[in-house]
Amino acid sequence: MNTSIIAVGTELLFGQTVNTNAAYLSENLNHLGFNVMYHFVVGDNDGRLEHTLKRALTDTDLVIVTGGLGPTQDDMTKETVARVMDAPLYLNEECLAEVKRYFSIRNREMAPNNVQQAYIPENAVIFRNEAGTAPAFAVNKGDKWVICYPGPPRELKWIFEDSGKDFLRKFKEKQIYYRVIRTIGIGESDLETLLMPLIDNQTDPTIATYAKEGECTIRVASQRDTMEEAQAAVENMISRMNNLIGSYIYSYDDEELKSVVVHKLQRQGLTISSAESCTGGAFAASITDVPGASKVLSRGYITYDEEAKISMLGVDPTVIDQYTVVSSEVAIEMAKGARLEAGSDIAVSITGYAGPEADEGREAGNAYIGYAYDDTVGAVELFTKRNDRAWNRNYFRLMMLKVVNEILDEIK
Amino acid sequence: MNTSIIAVGTELLFGQTVNTNAAYLSENLNHLGFNVMYHFVVGDNDGRLEHTLKRALTDTDLVIVTGGLGPTQDDMTKETVARVMDAPLYLNEECLAEVKRYFSIRNREMAPNNVQQAYIPENAVIFRNEAGTAPAFAVNKGDKWVICYPGPPRELKWIFEDSGKDFLRKFKEKQIYYRVIRTIGIGESDLETLLMPLIDNQTDPTIATYAKEGECTIRVASQRDTMEEAQAAVENMISRMNNLIGSYIYSYDDEELKSVVVHKLQRQGLTISSAESCTGGAFAASITDVPGASKVLSRGYITYDEEAKISMLGVDPTVIDQYTVVSSEVAIEMAKGARLEAGSDIAVSITGYAGPEADEGREAGNAYIGYAYDDTVGAVELFTKRNDRAWNRNYFRLMMLKVVNEILDEIK
């Protein structure tokens, strides 16, 4: 089904807000087998919204509108959609009860203009919204459908997950099943080369790769008559992929690497500590991003200068003199020191040059990750060839997570 | 001048890429006094691009197209624009020399299809692109203009800053000058209330506020016959704003708080250390985000559990017993300990509950920032009322920067 997405909001045309809703909906619509052909953005102006909506309905069969469903004067999505779809607004008592309930459970007074939220186009399918006061709805005129969602991404996502996805599935005769696999440590083109025997001449399941900042994601999707068949086709393909690229895969469920690592540490009952130089705390911050991190990380060391490495981690100054501060030897000393000081099961460290400029004659983008666990110590050299501080630091952080993830697989 | 922006790229319709180019261009176009009326996204499909381009040229006078300028088969922006604007492509020798130069200074072989990059619509104005191989250009048919930029954000920004902005200025009879002021510690509606005497009945300069994650930005812009007049009007307005909201302003030049803080530390020749619990290293990571941070931060402590606070920072266990670990007393002990251990001029600390769940009967979103410098110690209580771990942690980190920024103003 050909689809377009219209985002309504002057803040988007001012560039104050990035249209992440269009990306979120597009990704999900594609996963569900819908063909997204256009994105449109219009301001809070009913003439231009009507103009755009009519055009979208001419070119595509399903139009998803986000934004402009609030209770204030400049929100006119509902009125415009009602007019274009010949479905006049009426006061829906159930919606009104929901809006009242929203305020009452939060002990907040309902402003009179919130009654406005409960007006819905005639014959619309209504979607619950427990994340806000604006109900979402779908309305049709013959074969053409318009679905309206509120603009705040949190509300859109809540509704889409709760009922929006299931509603869209009804439009599809075939059943779609997909899984998203995440890999690290291999570039997109190398990954495609390895997967070529599976991609060539393959029509279903489909395999799509997508690269971003040191990671690569693979979506495996099947479209069959029943969900069971689609699921079996995807699982079979994944086990074949496993033989080819298993060593690069860190999640079969689109889980972020930091969550994978924290959850493995929790399951294995292990603790970790960190000693960071060029990442300046970013590794520990991403471990503690994950709820429940206090069970696995009790402390971390940010040792930005040499003196800190010596006094906080007990790095031997002669090792620094002999190998320089950015070396695998110093990285290992840092990890050993952190593990000893923190009394953790595993310790990971980093020392390197983030850039943007070369430092002490060394190129930016070069770093060493050290690790220590059981009787094992070691180091990994990184070299990014990039002169981009933010990119390098993020890459270093991801590679620290990768090293820890591999250690956890090793010792489980 | 009424403007629309078309982004070309199937990856946008798949939701793999977020259309940040539209936000970047919109913000800049608005600053330059252009009225952005529509955003469009189309895939790599010449029929749909032509359809969209024609519609955009009907509804608006200036159309900016991003993407689809690469050397490969699926890049057809140039061909489509040339057709719609009646300006056939020709091989521009200067562009060809530029493309060759791009490869030669990088010691890379130029693939034959890169010659394609040097074809430009007849009578187009060409913009240099030192960040890539695709030249940008502007072409007109009567009063209607189309400007094409490459899709990679880095290339778009390079060209726009280098020559794109100046080219657009020529369309404006009036001269526009603006400054972007950044504030922290006050909500948007409170800020507007304070600024009301200046906003009311004010037509030029214009004052626009924009809130995001604990911060609030104010854009002050003037449109006059000469740049000098516009500049004087803006500066005068800013000094009047200073009297009303000066205490909340941390930058008059749209600089991020972390950069402001690091640059002040550098200028004042002061060093800082950090002791972080619930932010888990995010404060130190944002200080070390800024190039040159090694001059101001030598070390930081991530003390996630009680034992770490006691052994790494020397926090007195009886203080924890008496006041609990999330208290202003413990925050101050942490800052004092970090300052003593690190030997830094200033130390800042945090202890709190990031959530999502309440911990030990305390609500998520409650935290204390401690600080120590000279003979001064103190603490600030934070309370976010949000049950959102990521939001809380980011807010805590920003507030630590705010506290340090205020200390730096105090002791300068």
Of A27, A178, A288, which to mutate for an interface test with B (greatest number of B Cβ within 10 Å)? Answer: A288
Q: How far is A35 from chain B (nearest CA, A)?
A: 9
CA distance B402 to A28: 39
Q: How far is B311 from chain A (nearest CA, A)?
A: 10
Asked if residue B194 and residue B87 are part of one domain, the reply reads no
Chain B positions touching A305 (Cβ under 8 A) are: 294, 298-299
CB atoms within 10 A of CB A395: 21
B305–A contact, CB cutoff 8 A: yes
Look up the domain containing B243 and give its range.
175-251
Asked if residue A245 and residue A191 are part of one domain, the reply reads yes
- Flag if B390 and A52 touch (Cβ within 8 Å): no
Asked if residue A180 and residue A64 are part of one domain, the reply reads no
Residue A355: closest CA among chain B residues belongs to which residue? B291
Q: What is the mean pLDDT of residues B319-348?
A: 97
Which of A251, A273, A291 corresponds to the end of one domain? A251
Q: What residues does A5 pair with on adjacent strands? A: A39, A64
pLDDT in tens, B28-40: 999 888 999 999 9
User: What is the token pair recorded at B31?
Assistant: 């600053």
With residue A332 as reference, give the H or E element that holds it. helix A328-342
Between CA B180 and CA B13, with CA B22 as vertex, the angle to 5 degrees is 150
Q: To which residue do tokens 């001048």 refer? A: B1
Residues 6-65 of A with CB under 8 A from B: 7, 12-20, 22-30, 36-43, 48, 51-52, 55, 59
In this prediction, what percent of chain B has a pLDDT beyond 90? 74
Q: What is the pLDDT of residue A71?
A: 82
Q: What is the mean pLDDT of residues A130-158?
A: 94
Chain A positions touching B389 (Cβ under 8 A) are: 289, 291
Asked if residue A217 and residue A141 are part of one domain, the reply reads no
Q: What is the pLDDT of residue A280?
A: 97
**Which of A24, A39, A282 lies at the smallest CB-CB distance from B40?**
A39
Asked if residue B190 and residue B152 are part of one domain, the reply reads no
Chain A positions touching B278 (Cβ under 8 A) are: 288
Q: What is the mean pLDDT of residues A25-34?
A: 92
Q: Is the pLDDT of residue B70 over 90?
A: no
Q: Is the pLDDT of residue A412 over 90?
A: no
- Flag if A41 and B43 touch (Cβ within 8 Å): no
Q: What is the mean pLDDT of residues B167-182?
A: 90
Asked if residue A360 and residue A269 are part of one domain, the reply reads yes
Q: What is the mean pLDDT of residues B54-68?
A: 97
Asked if residue A9 and residue A143 are part of one domain, the reply reads yes
CA distance B225 to A161: 53
pLDDT in tens, B213-236: 778 889 899 989 998 999 999 999
CATH of the domain at A101: 3.40.980.10
Q: Which residues contact B239 (CB under 8 A, 6 or more apart)?
A: none
A283–B contact, CB cutoff 8 A: yes
CA distance A176 to A90: 36
A386–B contact, CB cutoff 8 A: no
CATH of the domain at A196: 3.30.70.2860
Which of B116, B146, B169 corresponds to the end of one domain? B169
Residue A26: closest CA among chain B residues belongs to which residue? B15
Q: B211 with B179: CB under 8 angstroms?
A: no
Higher pLDDT, A331 or B357: A331
Q: How far is B54 from chain A (nearest CA, A)?
A: 13
Asked if residue A219 and residue A308 are part of one domain, the reply reads no
Residues 324-383 of A with CB under 8 A from B: 342, 355-357
Q: What is the pLDDT of residue A360?
A: 62
Asked if residue A138 and residue A32 are part of one domain, the reply reads yes
Q: How many CA atoms lie within 13 A of A111 on its CB side?
A: 8
**Which of A14, A304, A390 lies at the smallest CB-CB distance from B27?**
A14
Q: What is the pLDDT of residue B286?
A: 97
Q: What is the pLDDT of residue B108?
A: 82
Chain B positions touching A297 (Cβ under 8 A) are: 280, 302, 304
Asked if residue B279 and residue B403 are part of one domain, the reply reads yes
B388–A contact, CB cutoff 8 A: no
pLDDT in tens, A208-222: 888 777 788 898 999
Q: Is the pLDDT of residue A359 over 80?
A: no
Of B32, B41, B362, which to mutate for an interface test with A (greatest number of A Cβ within 10 Å)? Answer: B41
How many domains does chain A contain in total?
3
- Flag if B18 and A16 touch (Cβ within 8 Å): no
Q: Is the pLDDT of residue A358 over 70?
A: no
Q: Is the pLDDT of residue A361 over 70?
A: no
Q: What is the pLDDT of residue B16?
A: 84
**Which of A24, A38, A294 lies at the smallest CB-CB distance from B304?**
A294
Residue B36: closest CA among chain A residues belongs to which residue? A13
CATH of the domain at A362: 3.90.950.20
Q: What is the pLDDT of residue B356?
A: 82
pLDDT in tens, A58-101: 999 999 999 999 887 788 999 999 999 999 999 999 999 988 98
Region of residue A324 (left: phi > 0; alpha: psi -120 to 50; beta: else) = left
Which of B107, B141, B169 corresponds to the end of one domain? B169
Of A35, A39, A313, A315, which to mutate for an interface test with B (greatest number of B Cβ within 10 Å)? Answer: A39
In this prediction, what percent of chain A has a pLDDT beyond 90? 74
Of A210, A299, A340, A357, which to mutate for an interface test with B (greatest number of B Cβ within 10 Å)? Answer: A299
Asked if residue A61 and residue A108 are part of one domain, the reply reads yes
Q: What is the pLDDT of residue B361?
A: 66
pLDDT in tens, A262-320: 999 999 999 999 999 999 999 999 999 999 999 999 999 999 999 999 999 999 999 99
pLDDT in tens, B298-331: 999 999 999 999 999 999 999 999 999 999 999 9
What is the SS3 string spanning chain B? CEEEEEEECHHHHCCCCCCHHHHHHHHHHHHCCCEEEEEEEECCCHHHHHHHHHHHHHHCCEEEEECCCCCCCCCCHHHHHHHHCCCCEEECHHHHHHHHHHHHHCCCCCCHHHHHHHEEECCCEEECCCCCCCCEEEEEECCEEEEEECCCHHHHHHHHHHHHHHHHHCCCCCEEEEEEEEEECCCHHHHHHHHHHHHCCCCCCEEEEEEECCEEEEEEEEEECCHHHHHHHHHHHHHHHHHHHHHHEEECCCCCHHHHHHHHHHHHCCCEEEEECCCCCHHHHHHHCCCCHHHCEEEEEEECCHHHHHHHHCCCHHHHHHHCCCCHHHHHHHHHHHHHHHCCCEEEEEEECCCCCCECCECCCEEEEEEEECCEEEEEEEECCCCCHHHHHHHHHHHHHHHHHHHHHHHC
Asked if residue A146 and residue A238 are part of one domain, the reply reads no
Q: What is the pLDDT of residue B360?
A: 62
Q: Is the pLDDT of residue A7 over 70?
A: yes
pLDDT in tens, A365-411: 899 999 999 999 999 999 987 778 998 999 999 999 999 999 999 98
Compute the mean pLDDT over every residue in chain B, rounded to the nearest whole number: 93
Chain B positions touching A12 (Cβ under 8 A) are: 22-23, 26, 39
Q: What is the mean pLDDT of residues A227-255?
A: 95
Q: What is the pLDDT of residue A110?
A: 84
Q: What is the mean pLDDT of residues B113-118?
A: 88
